[in-house]
Amino acid sequence: MEEIRERMPLIGEDAPAFKAITTQGEINFPEDYKGKWVILFSHPADFTPVCTTEFMTFASMIDEFKAINTELVGLSVDSLYAHIAWLRRIQELEWKGMSHVNVTFPLIEDIRMEVANKYGMIQPGASNTQAVRAVFVVDPNGKIRTILYYPLSTGRNFDEIKRIILALQKADSDQCATPADWRPGDDVIVPTAGSCGTARERMENQNEDQYCLDWFLCFKKSK
C-alpha cells in the first residue's frame, strides 16, 4: 500500500499545529509562542558529528536570538531519553572556544515522525528514517516566513539564519525589502513603483533620504 504523506507547508501559510513532548516539557506549537519569532529546526540524529556542532553553536547563540524576540525549537526522530543523554554529553565537549554548553531550548521527541511529516522534514531521497536539516522561521502570528533545507552532510550557517530574522523584522516594521547581503544599518529597498506617475516622481524628486538607480530600484537610507 502506498504511503500517504502530508503536503509540506509553504511560505505565508499557517505553521501546522502540534503538541509534543520535549526536553523542556510539553509544548503546544505555535500557540505557546504567540508574539514571538520561532526557529523550528530538525536534525538527522542525536550523537552525530555535524548535529553536535550545530547544537553547540545554536545553544551558544541563544541570548542573541532572545535579544531579537526569537525562540528556538529543535526536533529529531530520536527518543526523549536519547535527547537527554546527548545533551548531557554535549556539555562535556569543547569546540571552537565553546565549552560547557547547556542546551536550554526544547528538543522535540518525534519517534513516530508525526511532526516531521507535517513539516516535510522526512525526504526519501535523503533518508526514510532521519529528518533532513530543515529550518522553518515562524513569525509572531504563527505564519511561516522562511523555509531552508540543507543536505545531511552540510552544517547550517547560523549567522545567516539570524540575518534572515533581522531582515524579516526590518521588512515588517519599515514596509521595505532588503538587498543582497543586507545587514542591520544598511540601506533598504523601497517597494517598486506601482504606476508610471510614481516612477517618474521618484526619479525627479530624489532627496537625501531616498535615491534611485532606476525607476524600479530605489533605496531608503538607513538612519
Q: What is the pLDDT of residues 88-101, one digit of tens each?
A: 999 999 999 999 99
Looking at residue 221, which CATH number applies to its domain?
3.30.1020.10
Q: Which of 51, 176, 196, 218 is catalytic?
A: 51
Residues 139 and 183 both lie in one domain: no
Tell whether 129 is covered by a domain: yes
Cell 550557517 -> residue: 157
> Which residues have CB under 8 Å from 191's CB, separation 6+?
175, 176, 177
Share of the chain above pLDDT 90, in %: 81
Looking at residue 95, which CATH number applies to its domain?
3.40.30.10
Domain containing residue 202: 175-223
Residues 139 and 193 both lie in one domain: no
Residues paired with 22 in a beta bridge: 25, 108
Could you confirm whether 51 is annotated as catalytic?
yes
Name the burial class of residue 139, with classes exposed (0-12), middle (13-18) and buried (19+) by CB atoms within 10 angstroms of its CB: buried
Q: Of 157, 185, 200, which residue is a domain's last?
A: 157
Tell whether 103 is covered by a domain: yes
Number of domains in the chain: 2
Q: What is the pLDDT of residues 98-151, one digit of tens each?
A: 999 999 999 999 999 999 999 999 877 655 567 889 999 999 999 999 999 998
Residues 188 and 78 both lie in one domain: no
Residues 23 and 131 both lie in one domain: yes
CA distances (Å), 25 to each of 11, 195, 198, in order?
28, 53, 54
Residues 22 and 123 both lie in one domain: yes
Give the whole-angstrom CA distance, residue 179 versus residue 183: 9
DSSP 86-151: HHHHHTT-EETTEES----S-EEE-TT-HHHHHTT---TTT-SSS--EEEEEE-TTSBEEEEEEE-
Measured in residues, the chain has a length of 223
> Which residues have CB under 8 Å from 132's CB, separation 6+?
42, 44, 121, 122, 123, 126, 149, 150, 151, 152
Residues 99 and 151 both lie in one domain: yes
Is pLDDT above 70 for 5? no
